[in-house]
Structures are given as C-alpha cells and as structure tokens.
Amino acid sequence: MNAKRPLIAVLTGAGISTDSGIPDYRGPKGLWQRDPKAQELVTIGPYLADPDIRRRSWRMRQEVGAAGARPNAGHLALVELERSGLPLRVLTQNVDGLHQRSGLPERKVLELHGTAHRVQCVRCRVRSTMEEALARVAAGEDDPACLACGGVLKPCTVMFGEMLDEQVLAQAAAIAQNCDLFIAVGTLLQVHPAAGLAQVAVDHGARLIVVNAEPTAYDEAAEEVVREPISQALPQLVRRIIADSRG
C-alpha cells in the first residue's frame, strides 16, 4: 500500500500578485502607505453611506486595472506544484482570480475574501460582472446602481467591516488542520481570521514556511523564512519540495 502523500496548504496574500502589477496594501509601497484614506474605499460602512466614497472607489478599480493583470512566476510555480501530483490546496486572501487564471483548478482554490471579478447588489443580491460595471463607469456612470432594483452595487469581496463567509472559513480551517506543510506567501499574516490559519496548522503539527519580503507575525513559528522576491523564491521552493517528495 502506498504511503499517504502529504497535504500542502498555501496561503497567499497581496505580495504574490505585485509582480503582476497589482499593488499590495500594507507594504512599503502599498496603497495604504501612499494614501491612508484609501482604506475607507473598501470599508463597508463608509462605502454604503457616502456616494462620494463609492465614486472614488469605482475610480480606484479602474486605475488599479486588475482585470488585465496576468499571472506571474509565483502563480505558475503553484501550478507546477499541483501538476506534480502532490495534494495541494490554495487559500487566498486575494480577490484577483490570478490563481485560477494561471491554470489551478477552481476546486483547489479557496477565495477567503471573495472575488473582484463580480459585483452584487446589497439590496436584491443580484450579481453581474465587474467588467459590465466598469464599462458603465467608463461610459459616464460614476456610481453605477443595480439595474434590477436601483440598489448600491459592491464588489463580491469581503470589505473591511464585513464577516468572512462561515462556510468558506470552515473549509479553510479544515484544510489547515489536516495539512502537513503550510506555506504562507506574500502576506504579513496580520488580517484575521485568515492569518490565524497559520497558527491552526502549526497547532496541528504542520511545518510552516513563510515567503515574504517583510517580517510577519509568524516568523518565529516558522521552520523556514524566505525573504527573496516571491517570483524568484517560490519557484525555487516548489522545485525543492517536488524533488524531496520524489526522494
């Protein structure tokens, strides 16, 4: 009988997507550093209460241009890991969809904070694509309303002040509890409850590897900490993991 193959869980944050042209939030050059007031654009209370904040938020989505971003070497490394046959689950704090676009099967990607590629009405819950909403903004609607009921549209992301989906969080916790290796990539491990998944994994006996340019809250608990750029470091780490699995 074959031995059980180790389950690898990878938690990814904004840092894995910066080489795709998507700025992070809390890093030295992140959105919050450049414009501390930008955080209110993705905070649910101000977003719902203030039309001006919504207008600025829609402009930000146009300027960030995440829809045209392409996967980078870090994303592709995880595809290589999945195709090696090792059991893999990716838990992502990102909303850019680049893991799926890179070739990872959707069933192996758990989007903890939702997706920026769709929008939803806060009143009637009807969903449509972000592409359609941004086309309306480009055509002159600075705060596009729901076409079905006139309600406020928001991206299908978990904004600050909103709770994570309980089912998604439960799935992520189960993966963290059962994995043998937990890799945190491009995240400072500060935003909870997602960041706490690293602790869950360690508490249940998993090895922890941190790949991030800046120090994180869990460096001391990690078996290995990698500070090199993610697009270089993650492919190297993946190749080492695959080689080790083959003896």
Question: For the chain, what are the domain ranges?
Answer: 1-22+71-113+163-247, 23-64+116-157
Q: Could you report the per-residue pLDDT of 131-176, keeping only the tens digit for each?
A: 999 999 999 999 999 999 999 999 999 999 999 999 999 999 999 9
CATH classification of 23-64+116-157 is 3.30.1600.10, yes or no?
yes
Assigned superfamily of 1-22+71-113+163-247: TPP-binding domain (3.40.50.1220)
Q: Could you report the per-residue pLDDT of 88-120, keeping only the tens digit for each?
A: 999 999 999 999 999 999 999 999 999 999 999
pTM: 0.89
Instruction: Calculate the dihedral angle through the C-alpha atoms of 146, 70, 18, 75, rounding to the nearest 10 degrees.
Output: 110
Q: Residue for token digits 């249940």?
A: 204
- Which residues are designated catalytic? 113
pLDDT at 32 over 70: no
Q: Cβ distance 184 to 216 under 8 Å?
A: yes
Sign of CA dihedral 225, 229, 230, 235: negative
